[in-house]
Homo-oligomer: A and B are copies of this chain.
Amino acid sequence: MKYPLGKKPNNKKEKIVNYSNRGMDLESDINITNEYYRSIEKAFIYKKPTPIQVVKVDYSKSKKITEAYFKESSTTDYNGIYKGKYIDFEAKVTNTLSFPLKNIKNHQITHLIKIKENGGISFIIVRFEKKQENYLLETEKLEQILNDDIKTIKLDFFKNNGYLIPIKYKERIDYLEIIDKLYGDIL
C-alpha cells in the first residue's frame, strides 16, 4: 500500500491537525462573520488565540515549538468593539436538544457577568447542531436560569428567552442584528 508521504502512518497517536471542513463549524462561521463586519468597518471583534503553555522551543529550526500544552482560557473566546460598546461572548455547540451547562466553565460565566455589570454587552451563542439553529442568549437570562440549579438548558428556554440568529450570505451568523434590536437605543 502506498501512503501519500511515502511512509506508513506511525502508531504513536501523533495526529496532524486537520483543518479541512472547518467551514462547517460554528467557530469558522463566527470568524467569517467577524471578518465581514471588519471589512465593512461595522465592528472589530476577534476570536482570542487558544492559550498554549510553551515548554520547549527548537531555535535551530525557525523557532519550532517541540513541547507545549493547551491551557484553559481565563476569559471567553470573543471580544471587541461595536459602535463604541465593548462586546464579549462565548460560543458553544450542542448535539442534543438541550445545552449542558458543563460545556461552559464557571469562571467564564463569572466573566460574562462582570462585563455586563461594568457596562459591556455580553452573551452566549449556542448552536443546536440537529436543528441547524443558532441562538443568542443574554448574560442576564443565563443568570436567571442558573438560579434554578439545573444541569442543562432546554432548547425551549432559548426559543422563549433568547434570539434566533439570522443566517445570511456574507455575515454568516448576523448576531449584531440581534444586538441592534436589543440595544439599539443606546448604540
Report A's interface with B, CB cutoff 8 A.
Answer: 12-17, 41, 43-44, 46, 48-52, 54-60, 62-71, 73-75, 79-86, 88, 111, 114-115, 118-120
Contacts and interface: CB of A to CB of B under 8 A. Distances in A.
A107 to B, nearest CB: 12
Given A49-B48, A111-B44, A65 B67 contact: yes
Given A64-B69, A65-B67, A84 B86 contact: yes
Contact of A81 (B52, B66, B120): B120
A52 B55 contact: no
Contacts of A52: 49-50, 52, 54, 65, 68
A187 to B, nearest CB: 10
Nearest to A114: B44
Given A14-B57, A14-B58, A49-B52, A81 B44 contact: no
A12 B60 contact: yes
Contacts of A14: 56-60, 66
A69 B65 contact: yes
